Amino acid sequence: MKEITTDQEWHDLFKQSDDGPVLLLKHSTTCPISAEAYDEFQSFINSSNENAHTYAMVKVIESRPVSNLISEELGVKHESPQLFILDKKQVKWVDSHFSITKKKIEKALA
């Protein structure tokens, strides 16, 4: 999983969604709910073909400007934790907090 820390990395990641689904987690390193969502995301990655999709994360506190830019450019209200599935430069699915589970991610990609 790649950590996104710059505007350029975000724009490069967004372009990659033209080649297939990109899963992006907005993660707070200080929030226990976010830690749980991170574990669910990792569980999904570990149980799937790691090369099937592109996986990335932005730490919302450490990289706040990038996190804000993502929300602004996607037109989606910021929440944390928040998981996006991007495909063909569109938000295919987004969810937050306790709704981020391995099963829901699998269903969203089915």
What pLDDT is attached to residue 50?
67
DSSP string spanning 4-28?
Answer: P-SHHHHHHHHHHTTSS-EEEEEE-
CATH number where 103 lies: 3.40.30.10
In terms of pTM, does the model score above 0.75?
yes
pLDDT score, position 44: 94
The range of the structural domain enclosing residue 89 comes to 2-109
pLDDT tens track for 75-101 = 999 999 999 999 999 999 999 999 999
2-60 residue pLDDT tens: 999 999 999 999 999 999 999 999 999 999 999 999 999 999 999 987 677 999 999 99
Report the distance separating Cα 64 and Cα 58, nearest Å. Answer: 9
For the chain, what is the domain count? 1
Provide the greatest CA pair distance for the chain.
Answer: 33
- The per-residue pLDDT for 4 is 98
Half-sphere exposure of residue 69, counting CA atoms within 13 Å on the CB side? 15
